[in-house]
Amino acid sequence: MMKIFLSYARGDDETFVKRLYTDLTAEGFTVWFDRESLMSKGLTFHQEIKDAIRTEVDRVVYVGGPKAAQSAYVREEWQFALECDHVVVVPIFRIGKEENIPGELSLLHCEDFRDNANYPAALAKLIASLRQPNPKLGALFAVPNLPPNFLGRPDLMRRVRDALLVDLQKPQVITSADAKVGMQGMGGIGKSVLAAALARNREVRQSYPDGVIWVACGQKLTRDDLLARLRDIAKDLGGDTAFESIPQGQGVLRELLQAKAVLLVLDDVWYAKDAQAFDVLGPRCRMLVTTRDAGILHALHGGHIPVSLFTEPEALQLLADSITTKERPVFVADLPPEAHEVVRECGCLPLALALCGGMAKKRQGDFRNVLDRLRRADLDKIADRASINPQHESIWRAMQASVEILSADEQHRFAELAVFDTEELLINLAERSLVQLDQKTEADGKVRRRFRLHDLLHDYAVRMAGDLKALHGILLDAYRTKCPDGWPSAPNDGYFLERARSHFAPARRESGWVSLLLDLGWAETKVMANLAHDLVADYASALVS
């Protein structure tokens, strides 16, 4: 029998939740309700609930109300459930308006329990829904997590979702514009976050049972980068990865995708030729592109959906969410006048707002200090000011203000992100929204972490760093200490074996790189790490340098 977890806020309508618990139990469901199910097994309240969601339930029913919408505890419950592929989150309305259903859940059908007279009919529909078997979901490949304070934009997300799902169930040829959907807007406006939310949407994943594959592009994709990404896709789909050229890789992917239903997400595309390298879609496949340049979507003959700035209410909600804690929820009405001024200084840009929210949270919600730092930010301190898009000035002010509150040592280490990173520092920076932490809990309970840096923040780190040669050298020296028997004994940590070539030349250590490539031990190490195909790029880099 289906096992259900009730996620709700006690300050909304606990009497209703008790009634729902009783009725679902009477229908034969096993219902996890905190008033009845906490076992006090020596675990914390927080850990016991996460364990229950991960191992004991099939559905999480989110009971929508104003307190639930603001509760950090409730948010953590359903967000954790979304990480678990075997758990389906089912939102229902109880109190208030549609805004009480968070953005990530707003695309799902919500049964309306707000009218008590309609309770029996709404309950019957909910029970019928809960008894449906779990749909098969496409696996997620490299799709980033959503930020802790993600603010959904339901109307925009529905428009993109509907474009991604058009005609998937009909046996007819679709147009190129249907096959490729683009979200276009300026940097920092939230395109990548919206794309990640859509990639994680259950209806989208159900429509692409062979997988949702995230491809990070960016401004400086090389031929080797494109080849590596084509190999990653082939590997994700269980195909051959031994091809040595882009046309060969396209041929392999074209054959793999012909009979599959896959969604390719190309994030942050700067050049049409980069996206065209992945234009090998089968009839049941789609491509979602995020870009700043509408011309790229025209070149791809794809659909174009513009992403606009936040509205002021959305911007204020993001700031309120940013400083909300489990112990102290914050509503928009609670925000001081300085928070409204911060929104105006940021021009309603999501990235700038997230940085300011991170600053305010570290100062217990003090927006006066944040506003003062924003107004004092001196863009003349940033090298090559002429290259800054005027629309980005609020982001650069927010980045400068965020970085300046770090200690001198932390500022220096932030600049080092232009070349490398360390976990302890990154966790600290994630608290300030300077980096994003992607975290996934595996079935065995182990937590896997990955950090991402927005390209504008990376640009800022590069400008701060100045002498990149020295930083590349520091990274190589640090890795050298982890190689007891020379470079061929380097650790297979998912980074260095693949990226070593990108550090030797910038550190002006070309001769050391050539010597390493002449060492058969390096080739043996890469072969043992299943990176034999990557050796070609290593040798090519030596020829270029």
Domain match, 444 and 492 both: no
- The span from the CA of 400 to the CA of 268, in Å, is 23
- Structure confidence at residue 314 (pLDDT): 92
- The span from the CA of 174 to the CA of 177, in Å, is 8
Domain match, 86 and 170 both: no
- Structure confidence at residue 265 (pLDDT): 98
Domain match, 284 and 320 both: no
Exposure on the CB side of residue 423, measured as CA atoms within 13 A: 5
- β-pair type (180-184, 111-112): unpaired
Reported confidence tier of residue 109, pLDDT bands at 50, 70, 90: confident
381 versus 28: which is more confidently predicted? 28
Q: Taking CA 326 as the corner, what is the angle to CA 95 and CA 62, rounded to the nearest 5 degrees?
A: 35
- Average confidence (pLDDT) over 198-224: 91
The 8-class DSSP code of residue 284 comes to T
Domain match, 189 and 293 both: yes
In a domain? residue 135? no
- Structure confidence at residue 317 (pLDDT): 92
Reported confidence tier of residue 451, pLDDT bands at 50, 70, 90: low
In a domain? residue 437? yes
In a domain? residue 181? yes
43 versus 454: which is more confidently predicted? 454
**pLDDT tens figures, 274-283:** 999 999 999 9
Distance linking the first and last C-alpha atoms of the chain: 64
Q: Are 320 and 175 in contact (CB under 8 A)?
A: no
Domain match, 264 and 381 both: no
Reported confidence tier of residue 306, pLDDT bands at 50, 70, 90: very high
- The span from the CA of 518 to the CA of 535, in Å, is 12
Domain match, 293 and 335 both: no
- The span from the CA of 195 to the CA of 451, in Å, is 17
Q: Does residue 40 carry a pLDDT above 60?
A: no
| Residue where a domain stops, chosen among 264, 281, 306 | 306
| Mean pLDDT lowest among 216-230, 289-303, 379-393 | 379-393
Task: Give the CATH number of the domain where residue 147 resides.
Answer: 3.40.50.300
Q: Does residue 438 carry a pLDDT above 60?
A: yes
Q: Does residue 383 carry a pLDDT above 70?
A: no
| Residue where a domain stops, chosen among 306, 334, 349 | 306
Residue partners of 171: CB distance under 8 A and separation at least 6:
none
Q: Does residue 377 carry a pLDDT above 60?
A: yes
Domain match, 344 and 283 both: no
| Residue where a domain stops, chosen among 102, 130, 158 | 130
Helices of type H across 300-404? 312-323, 337-346, 350-362, 367-376, 393-404
Domain match, 62 and 101 both: yes
Domain match, 162 and 292 both: yes
Domain match, 152 and 120 both: no
In a domain? residue 91? yes
Handedness of CA 22, 26, 27, 30 (dihedral sign): positive
In a domain? residue 167? yes
| Mean pLDDT lowest among 190-204, 207-221, 362-376, 390-404 | 390-404
- Structure confidence at residue 22 (pLDDT): 96
CA 86 to chain centre: 20
Range of the domain at 472: 467-544
**pLDDT tens figures, 66-80:** 999 888 889 889 888
Domain match, 340 and 354 both: yes
**H or E segment and range at residue 464:** helix 455-465
- The span from the CA of 145 to the CA of 58, in Å, is 21
Residue type, 284: R
Reported confidence tier of residue 230, pLDDT bands at 50, 70, 90: very high
In a domain? residue 389? yes
**pLDDT tens figures, 502-535:** 888 888 888 888 888 888 889 889 888 888 878 8
Q: Does residue 433 carry a pLDDT above 60?
A: no
- Structure confidence at residue 384 (pLDDT): 42
pTM over 0.85: no
188 versus 159: which is more confidently predicted? 159
| Mean pLDDT lowest among 181-190, 203-212, 312-321, 536-545 | 536-545
Count the domains in the chain: 4
Q: Taking CA 417 as the corner, what is the angle to CA 356 and CA 515, rounded to the nearest 5 degrees?
A: 170
Task: Give the CATH number of the domain where residue 46 resides.
Answer: 3.40.50.10140
In a domain? residue 347? yes
**H or E segment and range at residue 60:** strand 59-64
Domain match, 412 and 357 both: yes
In a domain? residue 149? yes
